[in-house]
Amino acid sequence: MTLLERPTRSRAAAGAKLSFLAALALLFSMPDGGLAQAEPRHGLSIFGELKYPPDFKHFDYVNPDAPKGGRIVTMGTGDVNTFDSFNQFIVKGDAAQDLDLLFDSLMVRAQDEPDAVYGLVAQSADVAPDRMSVTFKLRLEAKFSDGTQITADDLVYTLSLLKSMATRPQYSQPLHDVVKAEALDPETVRYTFQGKLVRDLPILIAQLPVLSKAYYTANPYDETSLKPPLGSGPYRIKTFNSGSSITYERRNDYWAKDLPVNKGRFNFDEVRLDYYRDRTIELETLKSGNFDFREEFSSLAWATQYDIPAVRDGRLIKALLPDRRPSGAQGYFINTRRDKFKDPRVRAALDLVFDFEWSNKKLFYGLYSRTTSYFENSDMKAEGLPSPQELALLDPYKDKLPPEVFGEPYTPPVTDGSGNNRANLKKARDLLISAGWKPDAEGKLRNAKGEQLSIEFLDFEAQFERITLPYVENLKRIGVDANWRLVDPAQYQQRLKSFDFDVTTQRFSLGLTPGVDMRAFLSCEAAKAQGSFNLAGICDPVVDALTDKVIAAKSRAELTTATHALDRVLRAGHYWVPHWYKPFYSVAYWNKFSHPAVQPKYDSGVLDTWWFDAKKAADLNSGKPEPQKASQTTPNSTQQPVKQ
């Protein structure tokens, strides 16, 4: 979930490890619906065979001989731009970023395959012939950072913690059908499932963080804490200043540093995140050389604020790194839990009022394209008329769906970019009047109780003001009492968790192969769960049913058909006012790093595969940077914070 112009949960500098949420998108199935192999394997795949054989030496997108050393200082980003906890799993508190660096998982994602994981803590995985359980064999050498062995009991305890009431819904809900975990012996753990939608559960389990039973028995799991947790991953917390900075140091004693899945990865001795509440100060800090790497989420800054000598002479590199992942759904999300937004005509009217073309021309320097789909930048996006296969999924719900679902998918209105949006404003006002909001003598739209339609746009970053205020002014022109509300980051996060808002800006990104992760964003269950990602409060039995079709798909073709049908229904529901996207990471960094010749297809690779280059650093300090190849500033293939 991210905003295209705001740092959020996923970003270029956060590529070190696949988060649990992203892992929820990975599924386990063969095109014919059978198992890839009903015996222990070194990895699990989705809809096909594994790219890497059992004896592979390293991933293709790493430099296996990359030197270790140096440090990278980058920005801490997120919805709160601060932190008060080192527990990212629970509802309470605001966790520091990149805590995944502390934790291993049973298996690890290959970032050049859309749907494959390979053994880390687990040396093998065995999915039962009936697919109702998966058994992992652990490596004897797997250890926590205090030297104690990772055992099956730790995995059993991890599941109990992540299914507990204290855990954020986006972690706990997808585990609903994981009935139990059993320690068959100290090195063998079996997970048992229930229900029919179990396809993605083996890979979901494979991506769970490994938590220490001993540590969380002695330390409360359900409370925020700034005590560094015990992990088994490649880094530990070295130092931190509460809310303002955190430094991770690479563990020389990391048990898995020489495994094929880790070869050429985690090359920095130190990774430091500095948190800034003001983007302008953050950018000036980069320019002054006080930190090394920044992903830029503002089109205004990208277009106008990097024309400095350091960029012109190659000391500060300004680059576009390709992002081939689905761009996700960024926009103004409308809280349908509130009565005034329950009528889809009201929500559709809000879409008509927003003038993207003017914003892109006047505010974004033409850098963005309009988002239209919940699966933008992917073949999962619905286009054209429904196919016969899509109609087969939609027809059973025909009496519950608006007619437009069965035509061309809903697309946001397009203007000429002049700022003269009168035609759409009239359409929006007419829609609101048809929904029961009648104009008074002054033209203000009121309901039967005499209450004026009011809309508050909740935000925590001043930089979004330039985008939202023109939208607010257009809403006022048609009789809506609209305003933009800026709150401090902690209050913003708390209000999101309790759904105390009218409209807010967010971005939700689903995986390359969406599965049970979708429930955290779209299900009725999530709509009712405090702290969930279902900010719009989507609670539609048809959406739930089509989500189940996506989860149950037995082939890539079936999955694509189901996402097309689901996309049509969601877009017709007008739960958001879509924003914009671009298929690149916009980054700036000081010329003291090197990277492999090949970027991971589905990640920026920055923390994961880059390394500190001592020669470049010396040249930089001497004022004579090494000339850059075009590939460093030109995309070699073709996003995830909010972008402005």
**For residue range 511-539, what is the model confidence (pLDDT) as tens digits?**
788 888 888 899 999 999 988 899 999 99
Evaluate if residue 36 carries a pLDDT over 70.
no
Q: What pLDDT is stored for residue 24 in this prediction?
A: 43
Long-range contacts of the stretch 214-217 (C-beta < 8 A, 24+): 214/148, 215/144, 216/157, 216/161, 217/157
Q: What pLDDT is stored for residue 340 in this prediction?
A: 98
Summarize pLDDT for 564-585 with one digit per residue, the tens.
999 999 999 999 999 999 888 9
Q: What pLDDT is stored for residue 2 in this prediction?
A: 35
Q: What pLDDT is stored for residue 26 in this prediction?
A: 40
Summarize pLDDT for 593-624 with one digit per residue, the tens.
999 999 999 999 999 999 999 999 999 988 76
List C-alpha distances in Å: 629 to 308, 377, 632, 636: 20, 28, 6, 12
Q: What pLDDT is stored for residue 280 in this prediction?
A: 86
Summarize pLDDT for 402-435 with one digit per residue, the tens.
999 999 999 999 999 999 999 999 999 999 999 9
Cβ neighbours for 61, distance < 8 A, ≥ 6 positions apart:
111, 112, 596, 598, 599, 600, 601, 605, 609
Q: CA-to-CA distance for 341 and 334, rounded, in angstroms? A: 7
Q: What's the chain's length in residues?
A: 644
Average pLDDT over residues 270-299: 91
Q: CA-to-CA distance for 69 and 154, rounded, in angstroms? A: 32
Q: Provide the pLDDT confidence category of residue 10 given band limits of 50, 70 and 90.
A: very low
pTM here is 0.76
Beta-bridge partner residues of 477: none
Summarize pLDDT for 125-162 with one digit per residue, the tens.
999 999 899 999 999 999 999 999 999 999 999 999 99
Structure tokens at 391: 């109609």
The sign of the torsion formed by the CA atoms of 632, 636, 642, 644 equals: positive
Summarize pLDDT for 459-497 with one digit per residue, the tens.
988 888 999 999 999 999 999 999 999 999 889 989 999
Q: What pLDDT is stored for residue 82 in this prediction?
A: 84
Summarize pLDDT for 21-35 with one digit per residue, the tens.
444 444 333 333 333
Summarize pLDDT for 487-508 with one digit per residue, the tens.
998 899 899 999 999 999 998 8
Cβ neighbours for 235, distance < 8 A, ≥ 6 positions apart:
101, 102, 248, 249, 250, 251, 266, 271
Q: What pLDDT is stored for residue 242 in this prediction?
A: 87
Q: CA-to-CA distance for 183 and 186, rounded, in angstroms? A: 7
Domain range annotation of the chain: 329-581
CATH 3.10.105.10 fits 329-581, yes or no: yes
Q: What pLDDT is stored for residue 6 in this prediction?
A: 41
Cβ neighbours for 515, distance < 8 A, ≥ 6 positions apart:
24, 25, 26, 27, 199, 200, 204, 550, 551
Q: Report, in this order, helix, strand and coil percent for the chain, each rounded to 5.
A: 30, 20, 50
Q: CA-to-CA distance for 317 and 311, rounded, in angstroms? A: 6
Q: What pLDDT is stored for residue 181 in this prediction?
A: 97
Average pLDDT over residues 248-277: 96
Q: What pLDDT is stored for residue 556 in this prediction?
A: 87
Structure tokens at 528: 């009712």
Question: 445-446 and 369-370 as β-strands: parallel, antiparallel, unpaired?
Answer: unpaired
Summarize pLDDT for 41-94 with one digit per residue, the tens.
999 987 768 999 999 999 999 999 999 999 999 998 755 678 999 999 998 988
Q: Are 89 and 232 within 8 A, CB to CB? A: no
Q: CA-to-CA distance for 384 and 391, rounded, in angstroms? A: 13
Summarize pLDDT for 153-203 with one digit per residue, the tens.
999 999 999 999 899 887 888 898 999 999 999 999 999 999 888 888 999
